[in-house]
């Protein structure tokens, strides 16, 4: 049985970690106790802040000895409460923030070894410093940490070209629940030596062990980008455009982000300084980006010609090409600030779904109809990474509903029914209720409901084999 840590256990942890290595005062621990979306408010007797892998191992050994539950914690940007301790006040928070070194970079081999507490932005900078790039790209990249990106198998805006975090990993260093260090920190592109154990920890949200470092793939830098914002009729037209762009430009398409008119309007209304390339009444937009390789500078011209031909043929309503780095940034600023705009517009009901791309239009049509019945007047802000089949299918209350009002509460009370309708349809169409944000604490019930029972049983067996006492991030992913 797990229980509240004894005074002896806490004293031992303090002695092990020293003053810099732990936090216990309520003012100091507060920032580790509330998740990014303010869904959960936890408690902890101690935040451990080890500075290297040996210290992480010693902490986990000590926690094993005293049978303490451990909640790994990175940049605290989870959308599902994955890094927040529960309300019992018994769980130790293990922050990786002091493991923030880039241990090695090899531009020729195309590899970089980073510790878990490095921010994503610092890993991108380390790659840039040797004229390479680490392609994972997220709105929260200045804050989120590599350990969290690995543990949640993060996605973002360049997945259609480079894959999710899992696809960018060559090796891992992991501390197991009993404190043993699993050293799989290899930089090999070929390594067929039995089971690929690192895959177990990628996307496991800290429920099987603690990732302390990773060997990552880095890529050559493009000479430039060709970036455009285009106006389309609807999501079906956007999907058709993706097909034509791929026919013309192949894998050089790196970004393909869809914004329905309602998302564009929210950004214009709530984010100061947001660019307005088109009238606020456009039905839908796509942000398209191609990477221009150094040897193909004329590609930018080809892209412009392609867009012109599309507009002339009437397959696109309009197109605006970024003519400078600043304009490109302005387009991305608009896209990246949609979540903030929606938060500023008040309460929302969020979903992070993925579908086979061929079924996206059907999903939007059928869910729009169902939601008009379930939540009349609510605004569907279904935007995101269309190139990956991933929509953030979020609802905002009808326009004019004030924060804290009875109407807002009535809207939020619809969440269970709305989410059931959305996730049921996603399941029917062969999609996923958790595309890139993970399961955390928020979607444990959904995993039980929608996952194949054989897969669920295997997950439980893996969990039991690695963490038989259920001490690693309890209550996350699996019950
Ligand atoms: C994005 O793509 C993020 O902007 C956030 O994944 C999505 O707020 C959301 O629902
Ligand atoms: Zn996203």
CATH assignment at residue 215: 3.30.465.10
Report d(CA 127, CA 274) in Å as an integer. Answer: 29
Same domain, 328 and 361: no
> What's the confidence (pLDDT) of residue 2?
63
> In the listed set 309, 339, 369, which residue is the last one of a domain according to the structure?
339
- Let me know if residue 475 belongs to a domain: no
- Let me know if residue 31 belongs to a domain: yes
Paired sense of beta strands 224-232 and 318-321, if any: antiparallel
**Both tokens assigned to 304:** 């412009």
Phi-psi region of 356 (alpha: psi -120 to 50; beta: other; left: phi over 0): beta
From 271, 392, 396, 433, mutation site for ligand 1 pocket: most ligand atoms within 8 A of C-beta: 392
Ligand 1 atom with the shortest distance to the CA of 156: 2
From 345, 383, 384, 389, mutation site for ligand 1 pocket: most ligand atoms within 8 A of C-beta: 384
From 139, 141, 158, mutation site for ligand 1 pocket: most ligand atoms within 8 A of C-beta: 139
> In the listed set 194, 220, 246, which residue is the last one of a domain according to the structure?
220
Report d(CA 185, CA 174) in Å as an integer. Answer: 9
Same domain, 146 and 210: yes
Residue 150 is inside which H or E element, if any?
Answer: helix 146-151
Within 6 A (CB) of ligand 1 lie: 139, 339, 350, 384, 392, 394
Atom 5 of ligand 1: nearest residue by CA position: 339
Same domain, 163 and 238: no
Spatial contact of 200 and 208, defined as CB atoms under 8 Å apart: yes
Report d(CA 251, CA 39) in Å as an integer. Answer: 39
Same domain, 11 and 118: no
Give per-10-residue mean pLDDT for the chain (479 aa): 84 97 97 97 98 98 98 98 98 98 98 98 98 96 98 97 98 98 97 97 98 98 97 98 97 97 97 94 98 94 98 97 97 97 95 98 98 97 98 96 94 98 98 98 98 98 98 98
Report d(CA 232, CA 417) in Å as an integer. Answer: 31
- Let me know if residue 458 belongs to a domain: no
- Let me know if residue 450 belongs to a domain: no
Ligand 1 atom with the shortest distance to the CA of 140: 3
Same domain, 193 and 209: yes
Same domain, 332 and 351: no
Residue 161 is inside which H or E element, if any?
Answer: helix 159-162
Same domain, 254 and 144: no
**Both tokens assigned to 71:** 């909640």
Paired sense of beta strands 219-220 and 284-292, if any: unpaired
Q: What's the CATH code of the domain at 413?
A: 3.30.70.2740
| φ/ψ (deg, to 5) at 134 | -105, 115
Q: What's the CATH code of the domain at 276?
A: 3.30.70.2190
Paired sense of beta strands 92-95 and 70-73, if any: parallel
Ligand 1 atom with the shortest distance to the CA of 342: 8
> What's the confidence (pLDDT) of residue 1?
46
| φ/ψ (deg, to 5) at 425 | -65, -40
Spatial contact of 189 and 216, defined as CB atoms under 8 Å apart: no
- Let me know if residue 477 belongs to a domain: no
The sign of the torsion formed by the CA atoms of 385, 386, 391, 397 equals: positive
In three-state secondary structure terms, 368 is helix
**Both tokens assigned to 398:** 């009808």
Report d(CA 310, CA 290) in Å as an integer. Answer: 16
Same domain, 290 and 356: no
**DSSP count for the chain of H helices, then E strands:** 17, 18
- Among all ligands shown, which has an atom nearest to the Cα of 139? 1
CA 469 to each of CA 95, 302, 462: distance values in angstroms, whole numbers, following the listed order: 21, 59, 12
Report d(CA 474, CA 14) in Å as an integer. Answer: 23
Phi-psi region of 139 (alpha: psi -120 to 50; beta: other; left: phi over 0): alpha
Atom 10 of ligand 1: nearest residue by CA position: 392
Same domain, 249 and 326: yes
Same domain, 106 and 205: yes
Ligand 1 atom with the shortest distance to the CA of 157: 2
Report d(CA 134, CA 107) in Å as an integer. Answer: 11
- Taking the centre of ligand 1 as the mean of its atom positions, its distance from the CA of residue 294, in whole angstroms, is 32
- Residue span of the structural domain in which 407 resides: 347-437
- Taking the centre of ligand 1 as the mean of its atom positions, its distance from the CA of residue 467, in whole angstroms, is 31
Same domain, 116 and 188: yes
The sign of the torsion formed by the CA atoms of 394, 398, 404, 406 equals: negative
The sign of the torsion formed by the CA atoms of 311, 252, 388, 257 equals: negative
Paired sense of beta strands 47-48 and 92-95, if any: parallel
- Let me know if residue 459 belongs to a domain: no
> In the listed set 38, 65, 97, which residue is the last one of a domain according to the structure?
97
Paired sense of beta strands 352-354 and 102-106, if any: unpaired
- Let me know if residue 153 belongs to a domain: yes
Residue 171's DSSP bridge partners are 215
Helix segments in 338-431, DSSP class H? 338-344, 360-374, 406-412, 415-428
- Let me know if residue 465 belongs to a domain: no
Q: How many domains does the chain have?
A: 4
> What's the confidence (pLDDT) of residue 4?
87
Atom 6 of ligand 1: nearest residue by CA position: 156
Same domain, 242 and 216: no
């Amino acid at each position: 049985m797990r229980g509240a840590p004894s005074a002896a256990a806490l004293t031992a942890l303090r002695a092990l970690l020293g003053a810099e290595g732990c936090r216990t005062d309520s003012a100091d621990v507060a920032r580790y106790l509330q998740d990014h979306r303010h869904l959960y408010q936890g408690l902890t007797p101690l935040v451990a802040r080890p500075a290297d892998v040996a210290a992480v191992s010693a902490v986990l050994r000590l926690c094993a000895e005293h049978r303490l539950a451990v909640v790994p914690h990175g940049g605290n940007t989870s959308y599902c409460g994955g890094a927040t301790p529960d309300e019992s006040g018994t769980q130790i928070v293990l922050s990786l923030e002091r493991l923030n070194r880039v241990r090695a970079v090899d531009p020729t081999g195309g590899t970089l070894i980073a510790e878990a507490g490095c921010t994503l932005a610092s890993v991108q900078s380390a790659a840039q410093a040797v004229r390479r790039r680490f392609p994972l790209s997220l709105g929260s990249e200045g804050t989120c940490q590599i350990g969290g990106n690995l543990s949640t198998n993060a996605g973002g805006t360049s997945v259609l070209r480079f894959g999710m975090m899992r696809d960018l990993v060559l090796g891992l260093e992991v501390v197991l629940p009993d404190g043993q260090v699993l050293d799989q920190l290899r930089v090999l592109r070929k390594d067929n030596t039995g089971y690929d154990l690192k895959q177990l920890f990628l996307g496991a949200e800290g429920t099987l062990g603690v990732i302390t470092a990773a060997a990552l793939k880095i890529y050559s830098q493009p000479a430039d980008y060709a970036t455009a914002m285009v106006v389309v009729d609807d999501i079906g037209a956007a999907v058709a455009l993706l097909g034509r762009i791929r026919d013309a430009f192949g894998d050089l398409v790196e970004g393909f982000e869809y914004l329905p008119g309602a998302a564009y309007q929210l950004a214009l209304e709530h984010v100061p300084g947001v660019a307005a390339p088109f009238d606020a009444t456009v039905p839908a937009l796509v942000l398209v980006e191609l990477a221009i390789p150094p040897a193909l500078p004329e590609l930018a011209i080809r892209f412009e010609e392609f867009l012109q031909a599309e507009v002339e043929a009437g397959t696109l309503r309009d197109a605006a090409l970024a003519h400078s780095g600043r304009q490109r940034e302005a387009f991305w600023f608009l896209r990246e600030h949609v979540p903030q705009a929606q938060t500023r517009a008040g309460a929302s009901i969020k979903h992070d779904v993925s579908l086979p791309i061929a079924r996206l239009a059907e999903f939007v049509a059928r869910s729009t109809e169902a939601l008009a019945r379930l939540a009349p007047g609510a605004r569907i802000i279904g935007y995101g990474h269309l190139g990956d089949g991933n929509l953030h299918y979020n609802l905002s209350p009808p326009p004019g509903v004030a924060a804290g009002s009875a109407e807002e509460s009535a809207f939020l009370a619809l969440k269970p029914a709305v989410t059931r309708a959305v996730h049921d349809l996603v399941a029917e169409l062969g999609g996923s209720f958790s595309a890139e944000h993970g399961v955390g604490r928020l979607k444990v019930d959904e995993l039980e409901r929608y996952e194949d029972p054989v897969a669920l049983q295997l997950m439980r067996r893996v969990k039991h084999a690695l963490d038989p006492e259920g001490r690693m991030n309890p209550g996350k992913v699996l019950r």
